[in-house]
Amino acid sequence: MRPFSYQRASDPDMAVRALSAAAAASNPLTKAAAQPLAGGTTLIDLMKLDVMRPAAIVDINSLAQGWSAIEPGSEALRLGALAKMSDVAAHAEIERNYPVIANSLKLAASAQLRNMATLAGNVMQRTRCSYFRDVSYENCNKRNPGSGCAAMDGVNRMHAVLGTSDQCVATYPGDFAQALVALDAMVEITGKAGTRSMPFAQLHKTPGNTPDIETMLQPGELISAFSVPGQWPRSVYLKARDRQSYEFALSSAAVALDVQGGTIRDARVALGGVATVPWRAREAEALLKGQKFDDGLAQRVADAAFADAKGRQHNGFKIALGKRVVMRALQQAVTMEIRS
């Protein structure tokens, strides 16, 4: 871990100023000289590994007073960026009206980490690619642009099959972001110029030729809130993994359905553990709309979701697995009892 200056920001303006001041124009956010510290579960971890080397840390936890509210409404759910994962997961109205959100959070990490990690920090968490996390490997395009990718032909069981490029196959590791992307969430971003909103689906960038640029967030910008339109009581987060708990997904699916009289009026499908970013399977969703559910439909949806998937040496199984996870999540969503 490199030395850094530490300061606490007492309000958003100060945080933004501090983060912007240290920002060099040429650096992507992930290498910005100043990094915000919230729960610290990604930042401190990666600093210890020498993967991240900020010269300044801006502790934004004092902003939680204004930025951690959990506000369910009939039109939309608003979640403060600094709300803790555990608090959101345990919120009764979220459990009732957004089970996909509650469960994506409950099935992530451990109780301790969920107590520390904030929602914004969680969606910004970085890949678990072993080669990215080990600086003794020079060849990581995410860390050292243009240096190559050790994972491509290395041990890549955990790596992505969707959204990959010839530069990077690192998996986006989170769970909650799949729920957000499925539910058409908006993300509110606070920066020097004030506050702007964008669809959450646009926040993360697939690696393409710039795997070091992971999100649309600019240095000096902070996520201040998320909002989720509508209510999705018929929603499921299904996560497959080797261990029963405390493990990143091999494959997961966030599914939300609006079923009326046996007909699917609206459907959302997002995939985790298999893609480089929180992955919305829009073509697959389209097959569901206006249809009555059966297993054949589920199969077609699953096939569509993974139509473009490309496996590598050790992760090819994720395609078949991912399809079965989607099918099962759909079945569970269709048959689940809605608490009113």
Partner 1 sequence: MTAAAPEPKANMGQPVPRYDAASKVTGRATYASDMPLDNPAHAFLVTSAIAKGRVDSFDLDDARAVRGVIDIVTHENAPKLKESKLFSNGGYAGTTIQPLKSADIAHDGQIIAVVIAESYEAAREAANRVKVSYTAVAPSASFGSPGTTTAAAKGQNAQFKEDPQVGDFARAFDEAEVKLTASYDTPPQHHNPMELFTTSCAWMGDNLVIYEGSQYVYGLKNGVAEQLGIDADKVRVVNPYVGGGFGSRGSMTPRTAIIAGIAKRLNRPIKLVPTRDQGFTITTHRAETRHEIRLGASRDGKLVALRHEGAEVSSRPDAYCVGGTKTTTRLYACPNVASLVSIVRADRNTPGFMRSPPEVPYLFALESAMDELAVKLNMDPVELRRINDTTVEPIGGKPYTSRSLMACFDEAAKAFGWSQRSPQPKSMSDGDWLIGYGCAATCYPTQMAPSAARVRLQRDGRTRVEIAGHEIGTGAYTVIAQTAAERLGVPLDKVAVFLGDSELPPAPVAGGSNSTASTCSAVMMVCDQIRQRLFKAVMPSDSLTDKAKETVGLSQAPSTQAAKSDRPLDIEKAFDALGAGVVEEYGEWKPEGAPLDSFKAMHSGHARIVGGHAMKDKIAYAFGAEFVEVRINRFTHEIRCPRLVGAFAAGRIMNPRTARSQLMGGLIWGMSSALLEATEIDQRNARYVNDNLADYLVPVNADVAGVEVILLSEQDDHINPAGAKGLGELANVGTNAAICNAIYHATGQRIRKLPVRLENIEA
Partner 2 sequence: MSENSSSRRSGFDRRAFVAGVAGSALVPLTARAVAQDAKAPAAQDPALPVDVTLRVNGKDKRLQLDARTTVLDALREHLKLTGSKKGCDHGQCGACTVLIDDRRVVSCLTLALAAEGQEITTIEGLATNDRLHPMQQAFIDNDAFQCGYCTPGQIMSALACVKEGHAGSDADIREYMSGNICRCAAYPNIVAAVKQAAPEIMKG
Note whether 252 and 272 are within 8 A (CB).
yes
CB of 25 to partner 1, least distance (A): 26
CB of 30 to partner 1, least distance (A): 18
Contacts of 124 (CB under 8 A, 6+ apart): 42, 215, 217, 223
Looking at the Cβ atoms of 243 and 339, the one nearer to partner 1 is 243
CB of 10 to partner 2, least distance (A): 5
The one of partner 2, partner 1, none whose footprint includes residue 310, by CB under 5 to 8 A per kind, is: none
The one of partner 1, partner 2, none whose footprint includes residue 320, by CB under 5 to 8 A per kind, is: partner 1
CB of 130 to partner 2, least distance (A): 13
Looking at the Cβ atoms of 20 and 299, the one nearer to partner 2 is 20
Residue holding tokens 């795997």? 211
Looking at the Cβ atoms of 77 and 249, the one nearer to partner 1 is 249
User: What residues does 275 pair with on adjacent strands?
Assistant: 162
Looking at the Cβ atoms of 16 and 142, the one nearer to partner 1 is 142
The one of partner 2, partner 1, none whose footprint includes residue 317, by CB under 5 to 8 A per kind, is: partner 1
Residues making contact with partner 2 (CB under 8 A): 1-10, 14, 17-18, 20-24, 27, 31, 33-34, 37, 39-41, 44-45, 47-50, 53-59, 61, 86, 90, 109-113, 115-116, 135-136, 138-139, 143-144, 148, 150, 153-154, 244-246
CB of 13 to partner 1, least distance (A): 31
CB of 332 to partner 1, least distance (A): 10
Residues making contact with partner 1 (CB under 8 A): 1-3, 48, 50, 128, 130-131, 134-137, 150, 153-155, 157-158, 238, 240-248, 250-251, 317, 320-321, 324-325, 327-328
The one of partner 2, partner 1, none whose footprint includes residue 10, by CB under 5 to 8 A per kind, is: partner 2
